[in-house]
Structure 1
Amino acid sequence: MDLSFLGTPSGPPTRVHGGYANRMYRLDTEQGSFAVKELNLSDRRWPYRADDVFRFERAAFAAGVPMAEPISAGTDTLVHRWVDGERVPEEPAPAAYAFEVGEVLARIHALDVGWPRVPVEEPPARDWPELAERATVTRQPWAAELAGRVETFLAIARFVGTCERPGPVVLTHRDIQPWNLLSRQGRPVVLDWELSGRLEVSGELGSTALSLAKGPGFDDIRPAVFRAVLDGYLAAGGALPSWGPGWFAYMVGGWLGHTRWNILRCLAGVEAPTGPDLALSHEAVRNGVRGLPDLFGRLAEWEELLMP
């Protein structure tokens, strides 16, 4: 990748570990510090619209959305100005922070940015029995757990494919989660816009609010934090869609697809040149095989706990 336009480096790029989809580096030059992201294009689950996402990011940044400044977008490399901040831990966020995230969502949804028509999403894959069999044959460390939950994964796929998702549909970030947020002086900064696109409001609100309201598992969910996201959304001019299980369908479907994608990477058994390291893919599979059935089993509980 040619990064000469960023100035003379003070040293080689430094790998920043932890990404579950791409690979990130920090580059320091006399022009400042930059986050350089090497996109995984070899086995993405859908095409990446670099130009459209960059245009959306530029509009959000110009509108004052707290985020890393987008510098450039190429076919396989993204560059943003480096932002110093604290990682958001996997624990219930402070209510004030969650409220501001809700405000940020409303501001993003209010942006007037054109977006090309995209094909309708394909229904979730139903090949979980075959994946479990292949995992057993290849002696994957999580094979027995997956085999014991095949029927649950099929039920999850049916839910994702058939559940009604209250709209309206908006152009948005689609992945505002703790791992895509920083805390700078206690206030949110939004990172990683690669999944941007059109989505039902309920799906993004449910995904973001639940992620900020919970701890590492699902035993510590704070309804007050969940409501703080919604209150911030309303305070910034947003409107809430009708309540129901569809608020969580996007989150469940995203995790389901991410788990399946990492299963396929593990079954290949080789270290891919881009994307997450093989060890990180195994971790993602274990988290999905254990966490998704727990999440799915609690949907009715959350409807009662979190509804107004």
Structure 2
Amino acid sequence: MRGVNLSQLGVPVGPMVRVHGGFANRMYRLDTDQGSFAVKELNLGDRRWSYRIEDVFRFERAAFAAGIPMPEPISASDGMLVHRWVEGEKVPEAPVAEAYAFELGEILARLHGLEVEWTETATEEPASRDWPELAERAAATGQPWAHELASRVDAFLAIAHFVDTCERPGPVVLTHKDIQPWNLLARDSRPVILDWELSGMLDLSGELGSTALSISKGPGFDTVEPAIFRSVLDGYVVGGGTLPPPGPSWFAFMIGGWLGHTRWNILRCLAGVEAGTGPDLALSHESARNGIRGLPDMFTRLPALEALLA
């Protein structure tokens, strides 16, 4: 982060330290005489969409002022976000406690009740259909997961069709859009929500389904805990929210987001160079492999996942 002026954060008491593990951007911790800060360098080079930094920052400030448990937003610019550092325990990719899930549902209900100006409408670009070409390029360049991708091309085309044709019942809400274990902390066993830069308008069923599923399962789909899934929904109702009707739309957003994320990482791997921003190349390979294996599995389990809504 050469040339970045962070003097408004105080006098540093040590060097800024990279915090590894981000799936899209790069994070650093800066300790100064005014406290500790999370400095996020946004990847603006090859993102699938542009960040709405000013709108997101306004949404974050409103959420923080309303008491939503999250890091305090400090500043935002075209390429950098700064928040006050929050200490807490990392949330593993495993079923959380029912009380944690219930409170997260309550938090979502409060978040969706905020009145924040947002000019963007909820739009999704059509899912890409270039999976045969990607498989050919992966084989030609000797990617370690090329054979697996080639064997699943038909599945990825079917997934893309599902994402584009699945009916969303509404309502559309302004929300976080990316509540996953790696975007959560546990502080005194209670939720803290991180990484708000993808916030925007989303069909409510997609937000609830993605959130409830992500914190009620392990790395695969063999350990989904129905009671924890339901706890998110119970908390949402107790918090004043109304549940949308059951159906596949609850999981369409999560599947579509994972599909796009997998393709993006495949393209980074096909480029074969260590980019200056975004995830390291090794992490892109891991994300590509996980998507190639996990997405078809999730897609075949849709009927069982819909049964969680009963």
TM-score normalized by the length of structure 2: 0.98
Instruction: Give 1:119 shift.
Output: 7.5
Partner of 1:307: 309
Instruction: Give 1:65 shift.
Output: 0.2
Query: Which of the residues 148, 163, 166 maps onto 2:166?
Result: 163
Partner amino acid, structure 2, of 1:82: W
Confirm whether residue 149 of structure 1 aligns to residue 152 of structure 2: yes
Give, in whole Å, the separation in 2 of the partners of 1:166 and 1:101. 23
Give, in whole Å, the separation in 1 of the partners of 2:125 and 2:249. 17
Give, in whole Å, the separation in 1 of the partners of 2:306 and 2:133. 33
Give, in whole Å, the separation in 2 of the partners of 1:2 and 1:75. 14
Percent identity of paired positions between Structure 1 and Structure 2? 73
- The alignment of Structure 1 onto Structure 2 pairs a total of residues equal to 307
Give, in whole Å, the separation in 2 of the partners of 1:158 and 1:88. 33
Instruction: Give 1:166 shift.
Output: 2.1
Partner of 1:74: 77
Give the SS at the match of 2:161: helix
CA displacement 1:189-215 (0-9 Å, x = unmatched): 000001000001000000000011101
Confirm whether residue 179 of structure 1 aligns to residue 182 of structure 2: yes
Confirm whether residue 87 of structure 1 aligns to residue 90 of structure 2: yes
Give the SS at the match of 1:65: coil
CA displacement 1:109-148 (0-9 Å, x = unmatched): 0000010134832110000000000000000000000000
Give the SS at the match of 1:141: coil
Partner of 2:22: 19
Contact map agreement 1:166 1:247 (CA 8 A) in 2 = no
Partner of 1:266: 269
Give, in whole Å, the separation in 1 of the partners of 2:281 and 2:42. 16
Confirm whether residue 64 of structure 1 aligns to residue 67 of structure 2: yes
Partner amino acid, structure 2, of 1:109: H
Contact map agreement 1:60 1:108 (CA 8 A) in 2 = yes
Give the SS at the match of 1:243: coil
Give, in whole Å, the separation in 1 of the partners of 2:288 and 2:253. 19
Give, in whole Å, the separation in 2 of the partners of 1:111 and 1:48. 21
Partner of 2:235: 232
Partner amino acid, structure 1, of 2:169: P
Aligned-residue CA RMSD (Å) = 0.8
Contact map agreement 2:122 2:202 (CA 8 A) in 1 = no
Give the SS at the match of 2:40: strand
Runs of at least 4 residues off by over 4 Å: none
Give, in whole Å, the separation in 2 of the partners of 1:210 and 1:26. 30
CA displacement 1:225-259 (0-9 Å, x = unmatched): 00000000000000000000110000000000000
Contact map agreement 2:166 2:252 (CA 8 A) in 1 = yes
Partner of 1:296: 299
Query: Which of the residues 33, 48, 52 maps onto 2:51?
Result: 48
